[in-house]
Structure 1
Amino acid sequence: MILWRISNYTDISGNGGLQASGRWHTQGRKVVYCTTDPGLALLEVLVHLEVDPEDLPQGFRWLKIAVPETVTRETVAALQEGWRTDSGITRARGDAWLRQGSSALLFIPNAIVPEGQNVLLNPQAATAEQCRVSAVMDYPLDPRLLASTGKS
């Protein structure tokens, strides 16, 4: 399986989760947010982009992450109504999964595209070390994408 991520960093250590909370975790927990599709990775970047075009980070990279079949995984159970707007719902579920350490991957619904899937990678899970960044590619953001968001 291949997972995708766009980031300023080229590792999958999960250290970013130590610095800030996300939809599926509270600050202080190592976690890596990935997607099953490179287009979803781009949408995730765009929806969280809160800078003027001239302030865009210059170091965005595509990370292609190879995941062997032996890596443990699970899928989040049905979530209660309102999970897209109430981050407490998703953070509680993600934090519980990270605490349990029961698998390296948690497949979660994508909040932007309901049919899409994001994947959390717990770098502290036993089989997570089998996941490898198989390619790192420069990713300059196309200015037309920013024009469509009204941020250019």
Structure 2
Amino acid sequence: MIVYRLANKDYINDKDGVGAKLFGGRWNAINTPCIYTSEHISLALLEKFIHAKVAENMQNIALLKIELPDDESLFHVDSKKLKQSWAYDFDYTQWLGEQLLEDQSILAFSVPSAIIPEERNIIINPLSKRFKESKFKEICDFTTDYRLLGKLINSKI
């Protein structure tokens, strides 16, 4: 399985989950490392934009492809079993994510995107016993139609 990560060029090659550890996220609390990725480049872009605090966060970004084994090391969180208000309950999603990140046999877990629930984000556990099976592929400058990035950069974030 190929997953995609968009990040500032200075941090794109973070294999330790430092950013998530420092700031926390929907599926991890502060002090718990993980790497947020998406099944699709377009979803990775939307996730990057929605979390941008300032327009500069949308500049100087790169795309990283990561190959993960497509087996039992990827845990699929069943959307139907999540509580109905999961997208608005960070305590709940962080609690669930923490349970999965503590299990070092799980390399990554698949969760619905709060932006587009029909699409999935993949959270990688850098502390997993199977992390070495992750293959960090090429990093390239991220480019898209200038009209889209122009709207994103010039919007009031």
| Structure 1, unpaired ranges of 5+ | none
Q: Distance between the aligned counterparts of 1:147 and 1:131, measured in 2?
A: 34
Q: State which of 38, 41, 53 in structure 2 corresponds to 1:38.
A: 41
Cα offsets for 1:41-94 (capped at 9, x unmatched): 000011112213xx3464311001112335711111421011111111100000
Aligned length: 150
3-state SS in 1 of match to 2:91? helix
Q: 1:69 to 1:85 in 2, by over 3 A?
A: closer
* Structure 1 residue identity aligned to 2:134: C
Percent identity (aligned): 29
Q: State which of 120, 126, 151 in structure 2 corresponds to 1:147.
A: 151
Kindly indicate whether the alpha-carbon contact (under 8 Å) linking 2:52 and 2:58 is maintained by their aligned counterparts in 1. no
Q: Distance between the aligned counterparts of 1:93 and 1:37, measured in 2?
A: 23
Q: Distance between the aligned counterparts of 2:108 and 2:28, measured in 1?
A: 14
Q: Which residue of 1 aligns with 2:51?
A: 48
| TM-score, scaled relative to structure 1 | 0.88
Q: Which residue of 1 aligns with 2:129?
A: 126
Q: Distance between the aligned counterparts of 2:48 and 2:142, measured in 1?
A: 12
Q: 1:133 to 1:151 in 2, by over 3 A?
A: same
Q: 1:56 to 1:95 in 2, by over 3 A?
A: closer
| TM-score, scaled relative to structure 2 | 0.85
3-state SS in 2 of match to 1:3? strand
Kindly indicate whether the alpha-carbon contact (under 8 Å) linking 1:17 and 1:29 is maintained by their aligned counterparts in 2. yes
| Structure 2, unpaired ranges of 5+ | none
Compute the displacement of 1:124 (Å): 0.8
Q: Distance between the aligned counterparts of 2:138 and 2:108, measured in 1?
A: 19
Q: Distance between the aligned counterparts of 2:132 and 2:85, measured in 1?
A: 34
Deviates more, 1:10-19 or 1:23-32: 10-19
Compute the displacement of 1:130 (Å): 0.9
Q: Which residue of 1 aligns with 2:6?
A: 6
* Structure 2 residue identity aligned to 1:106: F
Over the residues paired in the alignment, what is the CA RMSD in angstroms? 2.1
Query: Which runs of structure 1 show a deviation greater than 4 angstroms over 4 or more consecutive aligned residues?
Result: none
Compute the displacement of 1:145 (Å): 3.5
Q: 1:147 to 1:80 in 2, by over 3 A?
A: same
